Structure 1
């Protein structure tokens, strides 16, 4: 849609059909790869082989999501973000040992996250903030997103009858913004000068949210009674420990 608006060639095909096809086909490709991924993991039993298969499938999925072609004059493309998110969703919901495997992968993915954030941060051009309108847009985006997260989550939690603590603090825990937003920022750079402005505003907002978001999330979880000052463990760790006890008792 943004590409069509920037180019000045707005038509039904480029504004409605192609974006819808991209979303639907991306979800379908991710679901297919997730199902095949889960099925193939059952043939391997060692930790090293399962990790190797996991990395291979992720790289293969990313490669497939980068394909673009024309069908009857319609441009067909995929969103790598949606494809990979659907891959993980399907895998974690239908694979019996997904929690255990993901816990192992988490041990060595930290350097990849660091590299991703460093490369993304290197794209931030502070010179664009010399223009007052860019700063204004960035501040409005940060404030409106924060308000939307807080009041939207509070309204939804109250509507479904959640505990008062969840109603009050859920929105605060949704403030952190990182991976998906950075991916969107990198994609927007293909839109030309306008895309570069969008990317820089997004990167700046990620910087702000990641400076204050984790701290506010921790405070909100403490206030809501979901975690404690000492002995707090991750949900994934609790699940793995539960399955371990089930197998050994």
Structure 2
């Protein structure tokens, strides 16, 4: 099963290279297809968990290595706006969505705060954008890496707080 899962990942990467399409979108499409069409998709995904850590380390190492600290200072106001507007969008969208589906008020109030952490897809998209559009890459990559650090530091704390306040987790 592990070989099957790894084979699918490598096949998807090879097809993306051959067709000259985005690796990220290819991987997302393959994953969505497997989850929705394969009857035994749970086991391969669990098998990948045992071998994913070196790839995750490599991915985040490469993302961090492409960050120029001096460029991070240049995105200060834009980064602050991005953080505020992203948080506002997630909190408002979750509240409205919760209202539409009839979720309990405590769930509607706190669900957006539980969705703040970001990492893989945002960094992947920034790396793709930087490679495809070099003229914006020097702005986009520091912005996304810098704000990802903020969301990954604050996000888990806010997620835990939101889950406790919504009554979905214990304080222990």
Mapping of 1:60-99 within 5 angstroms?
60-68=11-19, 77-99=20-42
TM-score by length of 1: 0.64
1:203 aligned to which of 136, 139, 145: 145
Paired positions, count: 171
2:115 matches 1:164:
no
Report the RMSD for the aligned CA atoms in angstroms.
Answer: 1.7
Cα distance in 1 between the residues matched to 2:151 and 2:169: 21
What is the aligned partner in structure 1 of residue 156 from structure 2? 214
Note the alpha carbon deviations across 1:25-64, whole angstroms, 9 max, x for none. xxxxxxxxxxxxxxxxxxxxxxxxx210110111110121
What is the aligned partner in structure 1 of residue 70 from structure 2? 127
Offset, 1:179: 0.6
Offset, 1:114: 2.1
Task: List 4+ stretches of structure 1 deviating above 6 A.
Answer: none
Cα distance in 2 between the residues matched to 1:130 and 1:92: 41
Offset, 1:228: 3.1
Note the alpha carbon deviations across 1:123-180, whole angstroms, 9 max, x for none. 111111343xx21111111111111111111111112211112201111111111111
What is the aligned partner in structure 1 of residue 10 from structure 2? 59
Change (3 A) 1:212 1:86: same
Cα distance in 2 between the residues matched to 1:226 and 1:99: 25
Mapping of 1:178-197 within 5 angstroms?
178-190=119-131, 191-197=133-139
Cα distance in 1 between the residues matched to 2:169 and 2:60: 27
Offset, 1:94: 2.6
Offset, 1:84: 1.1
Asked whether the 8 Å contact 1:51–1:101 carries over to 2, the reply is yes
Offset, 1:229: 4.7
Offset, 1:78: 2.2
Offset, 1:110: 2.2
Cα distance in 2 between the residues matched to 1:153 and 1:53: 37
2:59 aligned to which of 116, 121, 132: 116
> Tell me, which stretches of 5 or more residues in structure 2 are unaligned?
none
Cα distance in 1 between the residues matched to 2:62 and 2:101: 41
Cα distance in 2 between the residues matched to 1:54 and 1:106: 10
